[in-house]
Amino acid sequence: MAIALPGFANVHSHAFQRLLRGSVQRRDPQREDSFWTWRERMYALATSLDLDGIEAAARLCYAECLEAGYTAVGEFHYLHNREDGSPYPEWLATTYAHARAARQVGIRLSLLWTVYARGGFDAPLQPEQRRFGVPDLDTAKLALDALMPLADTGAVRVGLALHSVRAVPRDWLGPLAEEARRRGLPIHAHVSEQPREVAECRRHYGLSPVQLLRAEGVLGPDFTAVHATWLDDDDIEALARSRATVCLCPTTEGDLGDGIPPTAELHAAGIPLAIGSDSHAVIDPFAELRTAEYDARARTGCRCVLTDGSGDVGPALARIAHANGYDALGLPDGGDRVFLRDDARVFERVRDLLPVALLAGHPGLVERVDVAGQTVVEGGRHVLR
């Protein structure tokens, strides 16, 4: 009999970045490499994809997510315009392309429509960023209104994403959060991913990104801070008081050299944690969970950091993988399940299967995946293959 687990939620995805895999694993010996140089390669990819290419990339990414055990994905979507930055005649064309891709492969989708309005704290959009651009608050409001019918289609949910405090003007933050809450939508944002972002935010506003979001009324139980890597104690307290969620993306944070978040402190403060594969350098929920726990151990010098009230790691990781993620995406459970091969050698002579599955597991163990009562992966392969 297969081992059944609740489906995993991939809370933070940029599907098109799946196409970067492998091509960014080389550094020019004459220059340093960092998140900011990686971003240049990401911009080049983003401005090269036509509408069909965006949909094909999403379909590829979501099918791989399902085969890895993810049954739901939060698409932090900001490829709004044409390659040259001009709008499509159907101005939400790329958004609908992601929804079609998700439906085709059968994954639950929380489509987090992203506001990206400037190139930095005091900079306009650069030419390579114009594809992401949202010109004004009214456009964002109209987009949310136009997308609301998607929320009635079952497997697709709509949400709002604020790209980051560097890409969204301060006087937009509060009004956008109000618009999202008026419609009952989850709110997500990249938060404190890089030390430079934190330093620039403090220089411009005298506040950290978390404190800025709190001051503008963005934080709340419907808010998810993605990454939250560079926090101080006041930031952690603000997130805890607001009952916000933090989405960790350990494989991307490692791939980009972002840093290791204060996972132990976030967990100790009672902040719900979730996981995401972000740039999709790796699509593997087992790796995200294992790395989150092991990074916390390495940072604190303690074992068994992410635990439940009984001190067990397995149930705590299972909650991070499923319940916290589905809550952050505003998605119903619907009985989504992942079935692992019980004849795999990793489970031989093991009593407690859950921690073994989550800390020693890998996508090769996935035998079957059911979403909303439909089998979408059988024998470890997507049924459409």
Beta bridge partners, 174, equal none
The SS3 call for residue 223 is: strand
Question: For the whole model, what pTM was predicted?
Answer: 0.97
CA angle 67, 71, 76 (to 5 degrees): 105
Q: Amino acid identity of 175?
A: P
Buried b (16+ CB within 10 A) or exposed e, 227-238: bbbbbeeebbeb
Beta bridge partners, 189, equal 162, 225
Tens digits of residue pLDDT in 70-109? 999 999 999 999 999 999 999 899 999 999 999 999 999 9
Tens digits of residue pLDDT in 279-326? 999 999 999 999 999 999 999 999 999 999 999 999 999 999 999 999
Strand order in the sheet with 366-371: 3-6, 337-340, 366-371, 374-378, 381-382
Tens digits of residue pLDDT in 326-338? 999 999 888 999 9
Per-residue pLDDT of the chain (385 residues; tens, 9 = 90+): 589 999 999 999 999 999 999 888 988 888 888 898 999 999 999 999 999 999 999 999 999 999 999 999 999 999 999 999 999 999 899 999 999 999 999 999 999 999 999 999 989 999 999 999 999 999 999 999 999 988 755 679 999 999 999 999 999 999 999 999 999 999 999 999 999 999 999 999 999 999 999 999 999 999 999 999 999 999 999 999 999 999 999 999 999 999 999 999 999 999 999 999 999 999 999 999 999 999 999 999 999 999 999 999 999 999 999 999 999 999 988 899 999 999 999 999 998 999 999 999 999 999 999 999 999 999 999 999 8
Domains of the chain: 3-382 (3.20.20.140)
Q: Would you name the residues annotated as active-site residues?
A: 227, 278
CA–CA dist 316, 8 (Å, integer): 13
